[in-house]
Structures are given as structure tokens and as C-alpha cells.
Structure 1
Amino acid sequence: MKLCFATNNPNKIKEVSQLLGEKFELLGLKDIGCNEELREDQSTLEGNAQQKAEYIFDHYHINCFADDTGLEVETLNNEPGVFSARYAGPQRSDEDNMALLLERLNSSDNRKARFRTVICAFIQNQKHFFEGTVEGEIAKAHNGNQGFGYDPIFIPKGYSQTFAQMSLAEKNKISHRSIAVKKLVEFLKTNS
């Protein structure tokens, strides 16, 4: 089954391809000829995921899904949340985002956080949502060079390493995105 993941992020495509397995051919936006930047101007993760998936389904008529992920830090009233990718500005710099977050947490002892991913899928003209969450905390400094986004400063609950210190296989066992994608895969296997 051909399935378009509405992203141009090669890290996300690699991560999700490993989870989907050989039964599905995962395509990115470039693979379907979509070169435009998909809008993400909704106020929720669900809204952004739906906005992107709906656009691809309506314009390219292919089974597809889109995700939006937010890092929610308890003491910052769940910031950066839906603004995670552009927390420090429109340049969408992972380094700038992490620096700003660490600065805002500098004087706080409460470093509890969670990653939340929402997937919206359009399969055979039907819309479906899947969610994955992983609890954890924000490290005091960057550690590791794997992954992307906030991975170097997020330590999942029950672990002593950041996501960026783990291999992709280790991260995929527990990550927010993998939890949501596994729910999507179960749905696809049951309904295809």
C-alpha cells in the first residue's frame, strides 16, 4: 500500500519507515511532486496535523497522514507546545529553540515535560486520529548527537539518557511518534 507522509523531514521519514515495515511504501512530499511548504497555522497539534493531511488528500488524492508534535513543559504552562518548531522564531532553528527553553527553565527545579504527537490520516476518504505521548524531563544541558529537534535535552521517564544519546532503534521503542505510528499501523493492518 502506498502511503504519503506529509513531511519533507528526512529524519521523520527514516524513523517512520522503520516502524511501518515492508507492507507499506512510504512516500514523502517530494515523492508525490509536492514542493510547497504546508501550512501549520492552527492552534492545536490536532488542527495542524489535519490541515496538512487534508491538503495532501484533497490535492493529490493519495492515502496520507501528517503529524504534529509538541514538547510540553509543565512549569512553562505547556510551552512550547504547538509552537515547538518555531519557539525561538520563524527560522525554526533546533539550537535556538533549545537555548531559549533552557534559558526559561534556568531557575526552575521542576523540569517535567512530555512529548506529544498527533497523527491525522486520510485513508479511503476517512479521517482518523492517533496520538502518542512520552513523559520525561528536560536536561540541564545538551547531551548526544542522534535525533533532531529537542532530542538532545529530553530525557524520557525511566531513562538516564536523552533521546539524542539513544540509537534510532532504542528511541523507536518508546518515543511519542512511534506510539502514534504503531496505532496507525495497527489500524492499517486491521482495515486494509
Structure 2
Amino acid sequence: MELIVRSRDDSGVCSDKIYQYHEIDSLASNSSRPKRTRELVFVTGNENKVKELEDFIKPKLAKLTVLDLDLTEIQSSDILDIVEDKCRRAFQQVRRQREDLSDNTCLMIEDSGLHFKAFNGLPGPYIKCFLEKLKPIGLYKMLEGFEDKSAEATCTYALMENESRIVFCRGTVRGRITSPRGNSWGWDPIFEEERTGNTFGEMDAETKSKFSHRANAIIVLRKYLSVVD
């Protein structure tokens, strides 16, 4: 679990600073004024993603607003570049639509990836396209000729308050690709989480909320919201 702060100068050159989970407290403000409750404008049309987020984010940390925008996605193997681009375009749209935007409002985008070690990290952020064409069983069969079936699931939340700074909250879970077991939502039935030996598809909602990549990313997000002013 880690947090990445990306800044861009006037020429567009970016610099990243990475904080491990235990280092996030160093971002806390020294101000004695009361903490503000931020508004998170979460851009998504996926109700499952909203539900998972609502279960973790308490109202005192942030007011959650959900907005469904039609955003095209750039082609890149780097999830950070993908969510940054989507976040910037969404930020511009929302700023045109809402006159009440304040410096207390964060726009947020989420994206996830499934990375096969045997394929040097692919499908990665392209997992949605692979899943639509191949279904879970097809993804599993892709690795039939490979001894190494290890994989990594990642989830990244990108938060933007202004166009010069963006914060990424990233969660990662290791596991392996297996024949489908459990429910058939997304690629859940083929990803066996290494600590439990169960696929996400075999987990109930409570268990998945403890072990999933998205849960880890939300923990980082919640920590960040609790320390920043």
C-alpha cells in the first residue's frame, strides 16, 4: 500500500514522491484550525465500486458525490498515466458544469489492473478488454502453457484538487490465476488471493473487504483524508 503525490510544473514536467503507508502521517498539516470535511466527486458508473467505497469512507472524512461521465481512456500500460489523464479531463468537465467548486472539493477516478507475471505485467490496465473478449475461463487458459501462474491485482484512486497536483492511493494484492471458482463477477473467480487460498469469487463481501486490492487502496485513501487539511 502506497501513496504517490505527482506534481507538474508549467512546462508539464512531472515529479512523483512516493509515501509508504506508515509515512502518510508526515503529510499532516501543522495548522490548529479544525479539519474540513472534503467533498469527493467520484466519477464512475459502476455501482459496485461506489458500494465498496461507501462501506469504508465515513461522512466525517468526506462527503461522497457520485458522477457518471463518459470518458474515453488513453492506451497505456501505466495505470497512473491512465487515471491521471481521465482525472484531468473529468476535472475540466466538472469545473465547467459546477460553479460551486471550491478548494475543498476533490475529483476522484478509480482504475484497477490484473497483472500476470508470465506476461510481464499484462493484461494490466487492459484487463477489461481482455475480460470482455475472453471471459474468466479464457483468461485462465491463456496461462495453461506457463508454469508460473502468479499474478498481482492493483487498484488506484486518483484525487485531483487542482491541475498542478494529483494524489494516487494504490493498493496491491498478490495471488495466482486458477480455474474459475465462485461467483462470476468480473475476474473474481480466477484470482486466488495468496493469504486465504480462496478466489475473490469464493469470498463473501465482508471477507473480500479485508483482502481485496480495492480495500487496500481505500485504506490508503482513508488514511490520506484523515491527515490532510
TM norm structure 2: 0.72
Aligned to 2:56, what secondary structure does the other structure show? helix
What is the aligned counterpart of 2:124 among 56, 81, 90? 81
Deviation at 1:59, TM superposition (A): 1.6
What is the aligned counterpart of 2:110 among 61, 67, 73? 67
Structure 2 partner of 1:107: 145
Report whether the alignment pairs 1:176 with 2:210: no
Structure 2 partner of 1:57: 91
Report whether the alignment pairs 1:7 with 2:77: no
* Structure 2 unaligned blocks of 5 or more: 1-37, 96-104
Larger relative contact order (Cα-Cα within 8 Å, sequence gap ≥ 6):
2
Q: Which structure 2 residues correspond to residues 33-48 of structure 1 after superposition, within 5 A?
A: 34=69, 36=70, 38-43=71-76, 44-48=78-82
* Structure 1 unaligned blocks of 5 or more: none
Structure 1 partner of 2:166: 127
Structure 1 residues 190 and 124: CA distance shift in structure 2, 3 A: farther
Rounded Cα–Cα distance in structure 2 between residues aligned with 1:123 and 1:157:
36
Structure 2 partner of 1:17: 54
Give the length in aligned residue pairs: 180
Does the 8 Å CA contact 2:137/2:180 hold for their aligned counterparts?
no
| Runs of 4+ that moved beyond 4 A | none
Aligned to 2:170, what secondary structure does the other structure show? strand
Structure 1 partner of 2:193: 156
Structure 2 partner of 1:136: 175
Deviation at 1:7, TM superposition (A): 1.1
Deviation at 1:40, TM superposition (A): 1.4
Structure 1 partner of 2:224: 187
Does the 8 Å CA contact 2:190/2:199 hold for their aligned counterparts?
yes
Does the 8 Å CA contact 2:112/2:154 hold for their aligned counterparts?
yes
Higher Cα radius of gyration: 2
- Choose between structure 1 and 2: higher strand proportion: 2
Deviations 1:149-169 (A, max 9, x none): 211111111212111111222
Rounded Cα–Cα distance in structure 1 between residues aligned with 2:162 and 2:86:
17
Amino acid at match of 2:156: V
Greater mean alpha carbon deviation, residues 112-121 or residues 17-26: 17-26
TM norm structure 1: 0.85
Identity %, equivalent residues: 28
Deviations 1:157-185 (A, max 9, x none): 12121111112221111211121121111
- Choose between structure 1 and 2: higher helix proportion: 1
Deviation at 1:109, TM superposition (A): 2.5
Deviation at 1:22, TM superposition (A): 2.6
Does the 8 Å CA contact 2:41/2:66 hold for their aligned counterparts?
yes
Amino acid at match of 1:74: K
Aligned to 2:220, what secondary structure does the other structure show? helix
Deviation at 1:124, TM superposition (A): 5.7
Rounded Cα–Cα distance in structure 2 between residues aligned with 1:127 and 1:107:
40
